[in-house]
A and B are shown apart, each in its own frame.
Chain A
Amino acid sequence: MLRKLLKYEWRATCKVMVIMDSALILLTLAGCCILHTDIFNHTDAVPMAVLMVTLYALSLTALGIATLFYLYFRFYRNLFTQEGYLMHTLPVTPLQLLHSKLIVGYIWTLLNASLIMVSILCLAFVAGYHFAVTHGMDGIWDRMIKELALESPAAENGINAFYKIFGYTPLEFFRQLIWLQLIGSFVSLLTGYVSILLGQLIEKYKLMASVGFYIALYIINQIFCSILMLVPGLQILVQDTGNFLYSYYRDMMGYAILSQFLVGIVFYIAAVFLMRRRVNLD
Chain B
Amino acid sequence: MILECKDLTKTYHGFPALSDISLQIDEGHIIGLLGPNGSGKTTLIKLIAGLLSPSSGTISIEGNPVGPASKSLISYLPDHFYLDGHRKVKDIIGFFHDFYRDFEPLRAYDMLGKLNIDPNQKLKTFSKGTKEKVHLILAMSRRAKLYLLDEPIAGVDPAARDYILQTILSNYDENASILISTHLISDIENILDQVVFLHKGRIHTHACVDELRQETHKSIDDLFREVFKC
Contacts and interface: CB of A to CB of B under 8 A. Distances in A.
Contacts of A90: 71, 99
A138 interface: no
Interface string B24-65: 000000000000000000000010011111000000000000
Given A8-B95, A91-B100, A93-B68, A280 B52 contact: yes
Nearest to A203: B13
B78 A88 contact: no
A88 B68 contact: no
A278 B72 contact: no
Contacts of A278: 52-53, 66
A84 B12 CA distance: 19
B84 A281 contact: no
B95 A89 contact: no
B228 interface: no
Nearest to A277: B53
B50 A88 contact: yes
Nearest to A278: B53
A73 to B, nearest CB: 14
Contacts of B83: 83, 86
A83 B85 CA distance: 10
Contact of A86 (B12, B66, B82): B82
A88 B50 CA distance: 7
Contact of B69 (A91, A277, A279, A281): A91
Contact of A82 (B53, B76, B81, B95): B81
Contacts of B66: 278
Contact of B99 (A1, A82, A83, A203): A1
A85 interface: yes
Query: Which size class do B's interface residues fall under?
Result: 20 to 34
A92 B80 contact: no
A4 interface: yes
A7 to B, nearest CB: 8
Interface string A1-27: 100100110001000000000000000
> Is chain A's binding surface mostly helix, strand, loop or mixed?
loop
Interface in A82-131: 82-86, 88-93
Nearest to B10: A280
A85 B99 contact: no
Interface string A256-282: 000000000000000000000111110
B3 interface: no
Given A1-B99, A203-B13, A89 B69 contact: no
Contact of A4 (B12, B46, B81, B98): B98
A9 to B, nearest CB: 12
B124 to A, nearest CB: 13
Contact of B82 (A1, A82, A91): A82
A22 B66 CA distance: 43
Residue among A85, A203, A279 with most chain B CB within 10 A: A85
Given A91-B100, A93-B67, A277-B53, 4 more contacts: A12-B84, A83-B83, A84-B82, A89-B49
Interface of B: 12-13, 46, 49-53, 66-69, 71-72, 74, 76, 78, 80-84, 95, 98-100
- Report the 9 A-B pairs with minimum CB-CB distance, sorted nearest first: A278-B53, A91-B72, A85-B82, A91-B68, A91-B71, A281-B51, A82-B82, A85-B78, A90-B99
14 contacts: A8-B98, A83-B82, A84-B82, A85-B51, A85-B76, A91-B71, A92-B99, A93-B67, A203-B12, A203-B13, A277-B53, A279-B50, A280-B51, A280-B52
